[in-house]
Structure 1
């Protein structure tokens, strides 16, 4: 079933719970029930960088030096904020028009609510399920597994059918090898008391940037989606994910992984610095031309922005920057050539931190039939996709999923014997 419930020249309205992994498995509507805009934080955050006024005529030398450094920090912050505001001003009018088209004029909103779900519009995290902490397991795997070849050396890496994965699983054997489900039905993968749904025709590699060269053993893809863990102070304080240095992205063999005419789509924060990095440096290093920017409009079930569009502290949208490799030949149809340069994806965000919209239904008309698709830094598996990341199974834990079709329970997925 398609997630698209409305579309216009501006883009699409998506309902992510309509996306099925196969065998009626899907993420429940209750995971996307944001009933009201996120409330403002009641605490006033006072920057540690601001100088403390002593009120004394005499100030010792260390405090003087601290005050000078603080002024520089404050100046840098103002400059960064001005850059964000300038970028926002350049797209604000279009975003307002897109919101009006997809929300106010569509007749789609308000969306139905899920009766059993409490209002979590404050934005508080509900990531309290007893899921496996894959970041910690990645470290265990690195220490327990035999030393691999140098990452500068091309490595052959076989693909293991999910049926061949033993129930008595040494957790380290999940790492640094491709595991696939080539069947037409879901499989369950039991790991340490948890069950994970592996969708049909999917492949995954659970690994991190230290083993990024394992990706070289894959054939190139028509479409690559990437959501890097960009440096972010608030996320760093909360410890929600492990950040990377932005230049670590050059360790990924992206140029090798993209077919001629293929696309790389990168989710980027609203910081101009990171957007310029993607367009001017990352795409250039991969031989890609910048072709499009799509925007995710985050709204409540009533269609309201989750925060005010002109908020200085937080924006209710994120940007997807798309680059394209040069086509080897113009002798056959090229659906990617019609990729719109600007579109909006309007949806209610997940309650779980940093989950992005599922793009299959929106991107499909602009890709070749039976396109090969790869997600980098993935935190879930999708049918027909290859997924890579150190938390790649996370949201395929059955605790995050539901299995229903037309109001009744579907048969369970195939279990591994």
Structure 2
């Protein structure tokens, strides 16, 4: 009997007990479906995290300077010299100063707007665009001008789309709006990425209580060398402070890698738990094949009496088990993709986040391969039992 004939006979026997076969396959179906959805969710989370970090810049370093008492700190001139002397690795620098004053527009006070003092290069470093007016310029910083650039939320919500030339207040300081950023999202909202205000870092430093700059953002020439650039900056700062606790250098790329590693670990654990149902499905296949051998004992005896070899009987029952698990794997794949689409819709509507469940080809192939392998593995023992039956004893069976 050829393999094709064995496969056709397996399909015939499976079709003869449709409901029993479906219930047998249920563990395989659930296991394959769960693995596909969980891995797809993990892929979606990774893409979402990468997109979120892309806004922060995976080619950037953030330097937090705590200083060493009041006697030793680092100036922005020293930081700019560091970038210039290491221009083969470091690209641009922007001092950053966070301002805690709420934004006052007329009689309204806006407490959700993020206010930052930055350099003229900051927009280029972050990939921001100016839709109206101009950005912050070097002369604004040198002269500590009281000017600012606002996001689209303030522009549309408080100035009717014509913010350039208007004024806002930060504490007791009145700033003139010289530019409006292009919208970062389709629907600018309060507290979102478009609810922001940027002013010259020199002006922001003068407004702050300390009057000093304690944070810097640097970009690197090649983001593949971000680790080397971090080591370089840490070394230069150590020369100044001689104290590793006086500063902290944070790499967005390293943070992204760490978060992806955590997500992968969680997904692997969940996928392993889901894969337990594949083992349960395999046990179900073994159980039903043992029942099938008992029910078809006389048939096996007749075939062996007519000259069927043990290898033929063994192959037939192994083929039936593998076919059953393979069909369960196919149904699990179909349901897995369907459930992934449903999960994407639910997550998007509930979380208002563009997270797409993305089943991978690798996960599908592994899940299907494991399901077939389990069918063969758990089907071998019943098949071996069928092949080892004595034809005389089998023919006597009722």
TM-score normalised to structure 2 length: 0.24
Name the structure where strand makes up a greater proportion of residues: 1
TM-score (norm 1): 0.23
- The structure whose RCO (Cα within 8 Å, separation 6+) is larger is 2
Q: Give the structure with the higher percent helix.
A: 2
User: Which entry has the higher C-alpha Rg, 1 or 2?
Assistant: 2
